[in-house]
Structure 1
Amino acid sequence: METHELIKALAADSRRTGVPMNTAWRGAVVVAVIIAATVFSVLLGARPDIAIAAQTVRFLFKFVVTIALAASAFFVLRMLSRPEIDTRGLLPYIGIAPALILAGVALELIVAPADTWSSRLVGTNSLVCLTFIPLIGIGPLALLLLALRHGAPSHPTLAGAIAGLAAGGIAATFYASHCTDDSPLFVATWYTIAIAILAFVGALSGRYVARW
């Protein structure tokens, strides 16, 4: 049997046994969002002035970036659960959220005075961000990794890292409603570091959880 025929056979076998992939992914996403929402509600909750903040572009832009990350990473993750997928074609999807936040940073650097750049970047909640995005996202990450076990990823480490990005996007979306630092500079720095923590944990875990 040739290699490509073996891969197709393994993929077909993974679809026939256990929980169907579509069901596994739907369940994982729904439960992941519920867990993230529960942890967020218990530990933090929305900022007191959210109604006022929701009228500003910078506050809403945070959700554009985080939701784009969660959605694009989840799409890539589903593709990576198939053993025959070509990873090169997936790279543009991962670049959507970074491109958005870089555009936001560029615009802020243009319109904001240079002497405010440092304070906007540092913000007032960097440690809170680095703490709670991983805490909110660890449960969703575990569920996404478990869903991967119903597939047959050829690159389990990469798939685990992408699961971390998806979980980070979910967690950051909830955290954004609490965070009072709306600057794209802050988001690009601290949200990225916090989400990278989850991606790193996902990559390490994926090597063992998602391999077949």
Structure 2
Amino acid sequence: MKTEEFIDLLAQDTAPAFAFRTLFLAATLTGVAIAGLVFFTAIGVRPDVERALRTGRFLFKFVITVPLALGAVGLLLSLARPGTDIGLWRWVVFASPALLLGAVASELWLLPPAAWRGQMIGHNGRLCLTLIPLLSLGPLACLLAVLRRGAPAHPGRTGAAAGLTAAAIAATFYAANCDDDSPLFVAFWYPMAFAVMAAAGYGLGQRLLRW
């Protein structure tokens, strides 16, 4: 056997069956499917969803969570591959909190100060802090599993981004159940649930994603 033929055989043996990007997207979609399955079988949409769909405040929650989830997926994919520019995805992720802060400012302007606290606290805060992390578990597990096949330069930071991505996916489903639609509620409770998952992802990333 010639040397060139031997090298070609070695290359074929070590080449991955699928590109990392393909595996990453498959893991992300699997995580979304798991979160959706848990949501629709164990939680479900709110009873008045048909009425809610005709209100701007209900739909606005998805204007926040969907772009955040998409941006976080792009950011995470970039972090998993050293040398990839994350500039664009960073701005996509930051766009959601910027929109939310604008909505909060509008809400504070329109509502009397006496109503601010009630809108912010709502009556689903405990559910928010329970269901978003619960729905995040499947996506986070899928993302961490595929990230072990990548080469993240910063394992903790990448794990935190995985936690944020999983939480954004979960929040998109949870928003269809929650009947607290005020931007004040979303700005107060959702970030706490996101922080829990980002912290969990950071710790897991430090342990699981080191080279």
TM-score by length of structure 2 reads: 0.89
Partner of 1:32: 31
Do the aligned residues in 2 keep the contact of 1:72 with 1:96 (CA within 8 Å)? no
Report what 2:5 is aligned to: none
Cα drift, residue 87 of structure 1: 5.7
Which amino acid letter does the alignment assign opposite residue 184 of structure 2?
Answer: L
Query: Counterparts in 2 of 1:42-57, with a 5 A limit?
Result: 42-57=41-56
Amino acid corresponding to residue 122 of structure 2 in structure 1 = G
Q: Which residue of 2 aligns with 1:121?
A: 120
Q: Is the 8 A contact 1:67 1:170 kept in 2?
A: yes
In the TM superposition, 1:79-98 aligns within 5 A as: 79-85=78-84, 91-98=90-97
Within 5 Å, give how 1:2-151 maps onto structure 2: 16-17=15-16, 19-85=18-84, 91-151=90-150
Distance of aligned partners of 1:151 and 1:16 in 2 relative to their CA distance in 1, 3 Å threshold: farther
Query: In the alignment, what sits opposite 1:202?
Result: 201
Structure 1 distance, partners of 2:156, 2:84, is 15
1:134 partner amino acid: P
Point out where structure 2 has 5 or more consecutive residues left out of the alignment.
Answer: 1-13
Q: CA 1:79/1:16 → structure 2, altered by over 3 Å: closer, same or farther?
A: farther
Please list every run of at least 4 consecutive aligned residues from structure 1 whose deviation after the TM superposition is greater than 3 angstroms.
15-19, 85-91
Instruction: Return 96-105 or 113-122, whichever deviates more.
Output: 96-105
Q: Distance in 2 between matches of 1:175 and 1:205?
A: 24
- Alignment map for 1:120-199 (pairs within 5 Å): 120-199=119-198
1:207 partner amino acid: Q
Deviations 1:84-127 (A, max 9, x none): 23566754333122111111111111111211100000001000
Asked if the contact 1:67–1:173 (Cα under 8 Å) also holds between the matched residues in 2, the reply is: yes
Q: Distance in 2 between matches of 1:103 and 1:176?
A: 19
% identical aligned pairs? 46
Structure whose CA Rg is larger: 2
CA shift in 2, pair 1:29/1:86, >3 Å: closer
Query: TM-score, with normalisation over the residues of structure 1?
Result: 0.88
Q: CA RMSD in A?
A: 1.6
Q: Distance in 2 between matches of 1:195 and 1:171?
A: 10
Q: In structure 2, how many angstroms separate the alpha carbons of the residues matched to 1:30 and 1:88?
A: 24
**Does the aligned pair in 1 maintain the 2:71–2:90 contact within 8 Å?**
no
Separation in structure 1 between the aligned mates of residue 25 and residue 93 of structure 2, nearest angstrom: 21
Deviates more, 1:30-39 or 1:19-28: 19-28
